[in-house]
Structure 1
Amino acid sequence: MKKEINIKTVSREIFVGIIIAAISIPIGMGYAQIAGLPTVYGLYGSVLPILIFSLISSSPQFIFGVDAAPAALIGGVLVSLGIEAGTKEAVEIIPVLTLYTAIWLLAFYIFKAGKLVNYISTPVMGGFITGIGTTIILMQIPKLMGSAAGSGELFELVEHIIIAVEHINWISFAMGLGSLAIILVSKRIAPKFPMSLVVMALGALSTAFLHVDEYGVALLSQVESGLPKFVFPDFSLIHFKDGFMLSLPIAVVILAESLLAETSFANKNNYKIKDNREILAFSLSNLSAAIVGCCPVNGSVSRTVMMEQYGAKTKIVSITASIVMAVVLVFATGFISYLPVPVLTAIVISALIGVLEIHLAKRLYKINKTEFFIFMGAFAAVLVLGTIYGVVIGVVLSFAAMIIKSAVPPRSFLGVIQGKEGFYDLHRNRDAKPISGTVIYRFSGSLFFANINTFQNDLDKAVDENTKVVIIDAGGIGSIDITAADRLEIINKNFHDKGIEFYITEHIGELNDEMRKLDLGHLVEEGVVRRTIKSALREAGIHYPYSIDGEKQNESQMKNLMIQEEILQEFEWAFGEDAEEQMEKHVEEIIANISIFTSELTPETEIDLKTKAWRHLDSYDQDRLLEHLERHLNEFAARLGQPVDAVEANIMEHRIRLEEKMKKENRVFYEVYVQKREKYEKLLQKKNPELHKYIMEHRKKQYDILKETNPEVADRIKKWIY
C-alpha cells in the first residue's frame, strides 16, 4: 500500500478517523453490553487500546477495538460462572479475564504462533472472513427492528431475529432499512462521499426535532462523562487455573480472527505485515484494555472496511479515532443519547456487507469446485459453530485441500520427437512417440502415503510384455515419506523379478540423502538412481538415436543437432557427503572383478563399464575413479599381473585423454573441476600423508621417464605432482 503523506491526505485521514470514532460509539457500547459491562466501557475500550495497537502494529490500516467475538465469549464465561451481566461482580472480574487473555497472547508472541496463518488457504480465509461478517450482520438485524442485538451462533441468531419480528417496531425498522438503502445506493453512485456521517447526523436531528424515541425507537443510552480510570485487576476474584483456562479460547479467537483479517487486508492492498509483531500488538492492546476495566479487544473488520471505503491508508485514522473518542468522553457524552440505534445499526451493516467475499465464492465456483466447497465449509463452520471451531475446521480444510491436491498431482508419460532433442509429454505433443520397450514417467509432486498408489497404478498400467526399461523423471519430486519409500522398494523388486530395469532420475541430490535415511541407500549404490533420463537410457543399453516403434529415429534429421555428453558429476550428486566413501567401494568392486573383464590395463580399457552398478560414468567421475585407483596401485597391479609402473603409466594416459575430453566439453566447468581436484589432493595429503607420498613418488617416476621420451605429455602431468 503506497502512502503519500501531504496536507490533503492528512486531512482525509483525520476526517475518516472522525467517522470511525463516530461509528465506534454504537458498536463499542453494544458489544460492551454483550460482554456484560455497562455501555460506557465500550467507549473506554476505544481510546487507549486503539492507540496502543496503532503505535505497535505493522499494518497501516487495521483498526482494533471492542468487537463481537471476544465480547460474546466473555458474556458466555460470565454465564458459566453464574455472574449476572452489568453487576459490580461482572465489572470487577472481566478485567482479570482480559489480563489473562493478554498474557496468553504474549505467550503466543514468544512462541511465534503467527505461523498458523501460513497454513490457511485463500478459500478458507475468504470463507472465514465471510462467516464472521455474516454472523455480525445477523447479530445486528434485531436492532433494526427495535430489539436488543442477537448473540450466539446461527440457530440462536435466527431465533433472536424471529423474536424481534414478533415484537417489531415499524418506525425503527423503517428508519434502519431506509438508512441502509440510502448508504448502499450512495456507495454505488458516490463511493467516496461520507453518507454514513450524513445519515448519523440526520438520525440525531430526528431525535431532537421529531422525538422518534417517543414512538419506541431505541436511542443509545446516556453515559457519564470523563476519561476511563485505571484499575488494577483483582486476581483473588477467580482461581489462577480457572482464569487461564477460561481466557485461552478468547486469546485463540483474537489471534486467529485478527491475524486472518489483517492478512486478508494486506493481501488485497499489496503490503506486508509482520505476524509476530501483530501478536505483540494484540497482547499490549488487551493489557491496556484490562487496566481501563474493559473486556478483551479484537481486530474490527467492519471499521477497517469502512476506513478502506473512504480511501484512508494510514495509522492517522486510528490515532485520530482514539483522540476523538477521548474528546467525546470528556465533552460530548450528551450527544450520544440523541443517536437512534437503528440508524447506527444500518451504518454497521453497510460496512459489513463490503467485507463479504461473495465475489471470491463466485470465482471459485466457476474455476474450482473443490476450493468453492472448502470456502463454503469454512463459512458454514464459523456461522454454525462459532469462530474458534471455524478456525480449527479452516486449518483442517486447508490441509485436506493440500492432501487432495497432492494425491493426484500432475503426471505424464514421455517420449521423443523426430528431429528434436529432449523428452516430451506423449499426451500433449502429437508428434511425440514412446521409445521402444521403454516407459518414461514424469511425476510432479512429493511422493507420500496419499499418492503412492496413484504412482504405482500408473506404472502398472503402462508396463506390458514388451517393456524392458522403466524410468522415473523425478524432477518434480521434492521429498518422499516412509510409506512411499517402502513401496518404492516393492516396485523396484517387482520390476527386477520381471527382468525390467528400473531407474529414478532428474531429481535433486537431497532426495538421494533422504532415500538413504529411509533405508533405500542400496538403490543409490546399485545405480537405480541416475542423474538424467539420458544417462539412465545409456545405462540400460539404449543409445541415441532411439528406436521408435521398432525403427530408429531419422538420423538425417538429427545430424545438425549437437548431442553432447552430459557434463555431470553423478557420484557427488548421488551420494553427497558420502561420495568419496562410495567411490572407494566402486574401486574395490572393480579390483575384485578384474579377472572377469580384462587381463591387462591399457589406455583403451573401459574400466568404468565393468561393475554391476554405475556401469557408465561421465568424464569427471571417471577421472575421480582413476585417482582412487591410484590409491590401490599395488593391489590393482597384482590383480592384473602387470608391473606397478606400467599400471600407473596407463592410469596417467587415461587421465590425459579425459582431460582433453573435458576441456572440449566445457572449458569453464573443466577449470572449476581442476580446482576441486587440487582440493581433493590436498585433503588426501592432510588425511593420509603416507598414501599421498606413495602416489606422488610413482607420478614423479613417470614424469622423469616421460620428460626424456615425451616432453609434451610430461608437461601435462606435471601439475599432478605436488
Structure 2
Amino acid sequence: MQRALTGLNRSNLVTELLAGITLLAIAIPLNIGYAQIAGLPATAGLYALVVPTVIYALVVSSRQVVASPDAAAAALVASSIGGLAAAGSESYATMALAQAIICGVLFVMLAVFKLGFLANFLSKPILIGFVGGLALDILVSQIAKMLGVSIESGGEFVEKVAGLVGGLGTANGWSILIAVAAVIVLLGGRRLIAAVPWALVVMVAATVFVVVANLDEAGVAVLGEVPAGPPTLTWPVLTWVQWLALVPSAIALTLVTTAEGLLVSRAYGEKRGYPTSPNRDLLAFGLGNIAAGAQGSFAVGSSTSRTAAMDQAGSRTQLPSLVLAVGTLLLLMFGTGLLAEIPSPAIGAIVAVAILPLLGIKDFTRLWRQDRFEFAIGAVCFLVTLFIGSIPGILVAFVLSLINVAKRASAPAIDVLTADGDPQDSLLADAPKGTTTAPGVIVVRMAAPLFFANGAVFTEAVKTAVTAAGPGAVHTVVIDMEAVTDTDVTAAESFESLTDWLSDNRIRLAFSRMRDDARPRLERLGILTAQPVFATNRAAVVELSDRPSDSNA
C-alpha cells in the first residue's frame, strides 16, 4: 500500500480522489465496450477493474500507469480465441481466462529472468502496423453496432466487411441517430472541455433517452442484464491441448503489452522525475493477469489513454486506480441494474472514438516522410494482421524486425580517417576517392561490432580503400578498434582472409584505440596477431607513414 501511495500528502489528496472519480467515469463505459469486442460479457470488463487493478497498483513501480484491458488486447483475444471456440460460449469464456493466466505466467518469467528486452524487437513501425490492423478490424464491428446491423463478431475482416455491407438494408434509424449524436458529443465535447468524462455523459444520456422513448421495442439493441455481485475466485478447466493452443496468442499479448507498458512507464517516470523498475512493472503485469484469469476477466495491460488522462488531471500516485477498484466493486454489488438499458449504438460510438487514434494514420504519414523502408515494414504488418490474422501478424512482425536489424547491421559506417581522426571518405560509397590518412597509411574505422553480418563487408571495404589508393601507395593499414566491442567466429574468418591479402601485398596491419574489454576475445579468435603494431594518435600515424613496408605486423 505504501508503494501505491508514494507521493500522496494532504495537499494533493483531493486532486488524487477527483482523478479517481474521473478514471471511474472513463473506465466503466470503455471496459464494457472492450469486453464486447473480446466476445465476453460486460462483467469480464468490469471484473478487470477490481482485483487485477488493486494488485497491479500495489506492485508496480510506476506511480501513474493505469492497468486495464485495452482495445488492441480485446481484439487480439477475440481473433485468437474465435478460431478455437464459438464467441459467447462457455468454452470461449474459459479460454479467455486461461489465456490471461498464461500471459501472467509469461510476464512473471520475463521479470524473474530479466527478459523484457525481447519486446524491443517490436519497433515503432511494427507496433503501429500491428495495432492499426487490429483497430481497423474493431472499427468495422463498432460501425455495425452503431448502425444496428448484425454481423459475425468472430469472423475474419473480409467477412465482417461483407456482412456490414450486406446488412445495410437492415440498419436501424434510431440506432444511427443515437450513434451520430454520441460521436458529435464525444468529439465536440473533448474540444470544448477536455476534463469532462464525455463517455459517461454519452452513456447516461443515451440510456435515459432509450428508456424514456422505449426504443428497445423499436429495434435498438441494449446491453441487457448484467449479473450483480463481486468477482469470485475461479479457475479455467481445459485439456492440455487447449492450454497449448492458447500459448501463441498469449505470447503475442505479452510482447505487445511489454513493449507498450514499459515504454509508457519509463516515459512518465522521466517526465515527472521518479524512478521506475522494468522488472517490477513486468511482475505487476504478471500478477495482475493471473488475478484476471482467476476471477472471470481477460488479459490486462497498460492503458495509454487513461494514463494520459490521469496525468492531465494532476494525479501522481496510484490512488486513482484504487478509487476505480472500489467504485467498480460498488457498482457490481448495487448498481448493475443501471447498466441493462445502455444502448449498444452508444457503446459502439464510445469504443469507435476511443480507437480512432490507434489506426495510426498520422504515424503512417510521418513514417512515409521519414523512412520509406520503415513505412513498408509497418504497412506489411498492418495488412497481414488485418487480412490473415493477429498471430501471423506478430510472427511477421518479428521476421520483419530481424530483417530490419540485419539490413542495418550489414551496412555499418566504414570510413577512412584523416590524421586528426575525422572521417574523410566513406568506404561504402559507390565511388571511393582513393585517399589516404597519411603518406602510405590508411586508417579505417568501422562504427559497429564486427560479426557475421558485416565481417565480409568490412574486409571488402578495406581492400577497396587500399586498391583505390593505387599500386604501392599504401604500406600500412591501421584499423581503428574503438567501436568494435565484440566479434564472432564468422567475422574472425573474414578478418583472417584480409590479413592474408595484406600480407600477400606486403602491407603491414596495425590497430589503434583497442578496447581493453574486447582485446581478450579478439586475441582468442586470432584477429590480433602475435606482435601487432598499435597507433593511438596522430603522431603515431605520421610515424607509421615514415616506416618502410619490410614486414607485416
Q: What TM-score bracket applies, with the shorter chain setting the length?
A: 0.7 to 0.9
Secondary structure class of the residue paired with 1:181: helix
CA distance in 2, matches of 1:492, 1:483: 14
Q: Contact 2:78 / 2:154 at 8 angstroms: preserved in 1? A: no
Counterpart amino acid of 2:508?
Answer: E
Matched, 1:261 2:266: no
Secondary structure class of the residue paired with 1:502: strand
Tell me the CA shift for residue 336 of structure 1: 0.8
Alignment-derived partner of residue 124 in structure 1: 126
Counterpart amino acid of 1:245?
Answer: L
Matched, 1:495 2:502: yes
For the structure 1 residues 20 and 480, does the alpha-carbon distance in structure 2 shift closer, same or farther, using more than 3 Å as the test?
same
CA distance in 2, matches of 1:383, 1:305: 28
For the structure 1 residues 155 and 76, does the alpha-carbon distance in structure 2 shift closer, same or farther, using more than 3 Å as the test?
same
Alignment-derived partner of residue 3 in structure 2: none
Alignment-derived partner of residue 162 in structure 1: 165
Residue correspondence of structure 1 range 471-510 to structure 2 within 5 A: 471-510=478-517
Alignment-derived partner of residue 646 in structure 1: none
Secondary structure class of the residue paired with 1:503: strand
Q: Contact 2:438 / 2:545 at 8 angstroms: preserved in 1? A: no
Counterpart amino acid of 1:289?
Answer: A
| CA-to-aligned-CA distance 1:381-404 (integer Å, 9 cap, x gap) | 433444443333333333322222
CA distance in 2, matches of 1:88, 1:433: 75
Instruction: Provide the TM-score with structure 2 as the length reference.
Output: 0.83
Residue correspondence of structure 1 range 286-301 to structure 2 within 5 A: 286-300=289-303
Tell me the CA shift for residue 76 of structure 1: 5.5
Alignment-derived partner of residue 138 in structure 1: 140
CA distance in 1, matches of 2:296, 2:260: 26
Q: In terms of mean alpha carbon deviation, does 302-311 or 281-290 score higher?
A: 302-311
Matched, 1:535 2:540: yes
Secondary structure class of the residue paired with 2:349: helix
Alignment-derived partner of residue 66 in structure 2: 62
CA distance in 2, matches of 1:313, 1:387: 35
Counterpart amino acid of 1:20?
Answer: I
Tell me the CA shift for residue 342 of structure 1: 1.3
CA distance in 1, matches of 2:512, 2:188: 62
Residue correspondence of structure 1 range 219-618 to structure 2 within 5 A: 219-231=222-234, 233=235, 235=237, 238-239=238-239, 241-271=240-270, 273-300=276-303, 304=307, 314-416=317-419, 422-427=420-425, 434-463=437-466, 464-465=470-471, 466-521=473-528, 523=529, 525-532=530-537, 534-535=539-540, 537-539=542-544, 541-542=546-547
For the structure 1 residues 343 and 304, does the alpha-carbon distance in structure 2 shift closer, same or farther, using more than 3 Å as the test?
farther
CA distance in 1, matches of 2:328, 2:189: 26
Counterpart amino acid of 2:264?
Answer: F
Counterpart amino acid of 2:220?
Answer: V
Higher relative contact order (CA 8 A, sep 6+): 2
Matched, 1:17 2:23: yes
Aligned residue among 191, 196, 200 for 2:194: 191
CA distance in 1, matches of 2:324, 2:507: 74
Tell me the CA shift for residue 169 of structure 1: 2.0
| CA-to-aligned-CA distance 1:612-633 (integer Å, 9 cap, x gap) | 787xxxxxxxxxxxxxxxxxxx
| 5+ residue gaps, structure 1 | 417-421, 544-610, 615-722
Q: Contact 2:418 / 2:438 at 8 angstroms: preserved in 1? A: yes
Secondary structure class of the residue paired with 2:452: coil
Q: Contact 2:482 / 2:514 at 8 angstroms: preserved in 1? A: yes
Secondary structure class of the residue paired with 1:257: helix
| CA-to-aligned-CA distance 1:146-184 (integer Å, 9 cap, x gap) | 135733554344344334435322331232133223322
Q: Contact 1:95 / 1:295 at 8 angstroms: preserved in 2? A: yes
Alignment-derived partner of residue 702 in structure 1: none
Q: In terms of mean alpha carbon deviation, does 291-300 or 200-209 score higher?
A: 291-300
CA distance in 2, matches of 1:452, 1:375: 29
Q: How many residues align?
A: 528
Q: Contact 2:103 / 2:254 at 8 angstroms: preserved in 1? A: no
For the structure 1 residues 474 and 44, does the alpha-carbon distance in structure 2 shift closer, same or farther, using more than 3 Å as the test?
closer
CA distance in 1, matches of 2:166, 2:120: 41
For the structure 1 residues 403 and 101, does the alpha-carbon distance in structure 2 shift closer, same or farther, using more than 3 Å as the test?
closer
Alignment-derived partner of residue 630 in structure 1: none
CA distance in 2, matches of 1:223, 1:386: 31
Q: Contact 1:71 / 1:296 at 8 angstroms: preserved in 2? A: no
Counterpart amino acid of 2:422?
Answer: Y
Secondary structure class of the residue paired with 1:317: helix
CA distance in 2, matches of 1:89, 1:355: 30
Q: Contact 1:305 / 1:355 at 8 angstroms: preserved in 2? A: no
CA distance in 2, matches of 1:316, 1:397: 40
Counterpart amino acid of 2:67?
Answer: I
Q: Contact 1:53 / 1:282 at 8 angstroms: preserved in 2? A: yes
CA RMSD between the two structures? 3.6
For the structure 1 residues 264 and 211, does the alpha-carbon distance in structure 2 shift closer, same or farther, using more than 3 Å as the test?
farther
Instruction: Provide the TM-score with structure 1 as the length reference.
Output: 0.65
CA distance in 2, matches of 1:212, 1:401: 54
CA distance in 1, matches of 2:440, 2:80: 70
Tell me the CA shift for residue 301 of structure 1: 5.4
Q: Contact 1:191 / 1:310 at 8 angstroms: preserved in 2? A: no
Matched, 1:171 2:174: yes
Secondary structure class of the residue paired with 1:288: helix
Tell me the CA shift for residue 245 of structure 1: 0.8
Q: Contact 2:416 / 2:436 at 8 angstroms: preserved in 1? A: no
| CA-to-aligned-CA distance 1:559-599 (integer Å, 9 cap, x gap) | xxxxxxxxxxxxxxxxxxxxxxxxxxxxxxxxxxxxxxxxx
Higher helix share: 1
Secondary structure class of the residue paired with 1:354: helix
Counterpart amino acid of 1:55?
Answer: L
Secondary structure class of the residue paired with 2:226: coil
Secondary structure class of the residue paired with 2:258: helix
Q: Contact 2:262 / 2:281 at 8 angstroms: preserved in 1? A: no
Secondary structure class of the residue paired with 2:477: strand
Secondary structure class of the residue paired with 1:192: coil
Alignment-derived partner of residue 33 in structure 2: 27
| CA-to-aligned-CA distance 1:467-503 (integer Å, 9 cap, x gap) | 2222222322222222221121111211221222222
Q: Contact 1:503 / 1:536 at 8 angstroms: preserved in 2? A: no
For the structure 1 residues 130 and 306, does the alpha-carbon distance in structure 2 shift closer, same or farther, using more than 3 Å as the test?
farther
CA distance in 1, matches of 2:391, 2:289: 18
CA distance in 2, matches of 1:359, 1:107: 35
Tell me the CA shift for residue 203 of structure 1: 0.8
Q: Contact 1:74 / 1:295 at 8 angstroms: preserved in 2? A: no
CA distance in 2, matches of 1:493, 1:15: 73
CA distance in 2, matches of 1:283, 1:505: 48
| CA-to-aligned-CA distance 1:369-427 (integer Å, 9 cap, x gap) | 233333333433433444443333333333322222222222322234xxxxx243335
Tell me the CA shift for residue 9 of structure 1: 1.9
| 5+ residue gaps, structure 2 | 1-5, 427-432
CA distance in 2, matches of 1:226, 1:151: 28
CA distance in 2, matches of 1:219, 1:519: 74
CA distance in 2, matches of 1:55, 1:276: 15
Once the two structures are aligned, what percentage of the paired residues are identical? 24
CA distance in 2, matches of 1:425, 1:66: 49
CA distance in 1, matches of 2:119, 2:463: 40
Q: Contact 1:125 / 1:264 at 8 angstroms: preserved in 2? A: no
CA distance in 1, matches of 2:314, 2:141: 27
For the structure 1 residues 291 and 402, does the alpha-carbon distance in structure 2 shift closer, same or farther, using more than 3 Å as the test?
closer
